[in-house]
Chain A
Amino acid sequence: MTTTTKKFTLEEYLAYDDGTDTQYELEDGELVEMAAEAEKNSRISTYLLLEFAKFIPFYLIRHKDTEIVVRYNPPRVRFPDLMILTEELFVVFRGSKRGIITQDMPSPALVIEVVSPGKVNQERDYQYKRTDYATRGIPEYWIIDSVQEKVTVLTLVDGLYEEAVFQGSNSIASNAIHEINLTASQVLAAGDI
């Protein structure tokens, strides 16, 4: 993880291009380079993408190409692995010049992070982002953890996430996507092929 010292405003961040393909998140104005993705994690997120596509129109599914503004000032911008939009959000979002859900747009229905190994990445997904996505009003947040072999589903109830942990042959229960019928093992096995 590389952290620069310059503090960006949201507008500066949106205009920023360092000439590389590096993906960043913005934490209170500071650029934070995204951790390199383990190949295993790529398979897990692609597997989920394909499963969701069985039930959800393709235009509501975003895979590693859409950012979300958590807070405008000091600016905090996150880059989830997977997002399921609502129809209401899509109507506002469609035609945007940049794939970023801004602070005034409605929340997505679901965000998913596949945890990268290492303490810093774990803290980001389990702790910081849990607060970030709750205050952004996102109704459901899944944390897929291939190291600890578990899937944490966080459901927003009156402004705070309630936690349910799924392991092994437990079916993942989702309020956001009722049709989904997946066990924790099925999801994690995508990384074990």
Chain B
Amino acid sequence: MVTTTKKFTLEEYLAYDDGTDTQYELVDGELVKMPPEATKNGQIAVYLLSQFLKLIPSYLIRCKDIEIVVTDHPARVRFPDLVILTAESFAAICDAKRCTITQNMPSPALVIEVVSPGKTNEDRDYRYKRSEYALRGIPEYWIIDPIKEQVTFLRLVNGLYEETVFRGNDDIASATFPDLKLTVSQVLTAREV
């Protein structure tokens, strides 16, 4: 993780281009480079994408190309692995020049993070983002963890996430997507069993 010292406003960040393809998150005005993604984590994200395609139109599914503004002042912007939009949030973003769900747009239906190894990455997904996505009002947040071999399912209840942890052959029970039939093993091996 590389952290620069300059503090960005949200406007400066949205206009920022360092001429590389590096992806950043913005944490209280500071650029934080996204960790390199393990091949397996990429496979898991694409596998999940393929499963959601069976249920919902492709334009509601975003894989690693959409940011969410959590707070704008100080600016905090997150870059989830997978985002499932609602029709309402799609309508708000479909003509935007940059793929950013800004602070005044409706929340997506679901965000998913596939955890990268290491305490910093684990803390980010399990702790910081858990508070942040709750504040942002996102109804469901899944944390896919290939190392601990578990899926943490968080459901927003009165502004706070309630947690259920699934392992092995447990079916992931989503309130938002009840027709999604997926076991934890399927997700972690990223293939149909």
Task: Decide: A123 near B71, CB < 8 A? Known: A73-B103, A159-B128, A160-B130.
Answer: no
Question: In the complex, what distance in Å separates the CA atom of A146 from the CA atom of B132?
Answer: 30
Number of chain B interface residues as a range? 20 to 34
B150-193 to A contact mask, C-beta < 8 Å, 1/0: 00000001111000000000000000000000000000000000
Are A74 and B71 touching (Cβ within 8 A)? no
Task: List the one stretch of A17-25, A127-135, A171-179, A180-188 in contact with chain B.
Answer: A127-135
Are B130 and A103 touching (Cβ within 8 A)? no
Are A73 and B131 touching (Cβ within 8 A)? no
Are A127 and B123 touching (Cβ within 8 A)? no
Are B127 and A159 touching (Cβ within 8 A)? yes
Question: In the complex, what distance in Å separates the CA atom of A168 from the CA atom of B74?
Answer: 41
Number of chain A interface residues as a range? 20 to 34
A67-80 to B contact mask, C-beta < 8 Å, 1/0: 00011111000000
Measured between beta carbons, the chain B residues less than 8 angstroms from A12 are none
B114-133 to A contact mask, C-beta < 8 Å, 1/0: 00000000010011111110
* 8 Å CB contact of A132 from B72, B130, B135: B135
Question: In the complex, what distance in Å separates the CA atom of A131 from the CA atom of B162?
Answer: 12
Task: Decide: A131 near B134, CB < 8 A? Known: A72-B73, A73-B73.
Answer: yes
Whether B104 is near chain A, meaning CB under 8 Å from some CB there, is yes
* 8 Å CB contact of B160 from A70, A71, A74, A128: A128
A134 → B minimal CB distance (Å): 4
Most chain A CB within 10 A, of B127, B128, B131, B160, is at B131
Are B135 and A131 touching (Cβ within 8 A)? yes
Whether A32 is near chain B, meaning CB under 8 Å from some CB there, is no
Are A128 and B73 touching (Cβ within 8 A)? no
Are B128 and A131 touching (Cβ within 8 A)? no
Task: Decide: A103 near B158, CB < 8 A? Known: A131-B134, A135-B131.
Answer: no
Question: In the complex, what distance in Å separates the CA atom of A23 from the CA atom of B130?
Answer: 30
Question: In the complex, what distance in Å separates the CA atom of A159 from the CA atom of B134?
Answer: 12
Whether A158 is near chain B, meaning CB under 8 Å from some CB there, is yes
Measured between beta carbons, the chain B residues less than 8 angstroms from A47 are none
Are A127 and B104 touching (Cβ within 8 A)? no
Question: In the complex, what distance in Å separates the CA atom of A132 from the CA atom of B70?
Answer: 12
Are A74 and B131 touching (Cβ within 8 A)? no
Are B157 and A127 touching (Cβ within 8 A)? yes
User: Which B residues fall within an 8 A CB radius of A?
Assistant: 70-74, 103-104, 123, 126-132, 134-135, 157-160
17 contacts between A and B (CB under 8 A): A71-B71, A73-B104, A131-B131, A131-B135, A131-B159, A131-B160, A132-B135, A135-B71, A135-B131, A135-B132, A135-B135, A158-B127, A159-B123, A159-B127, A159-B131, A160-B130, A161-B131
* Nearest 5 CB-CB pairings of A with B: A159-B128, A128-B159, A72-B73, A160-B127, A127-B160
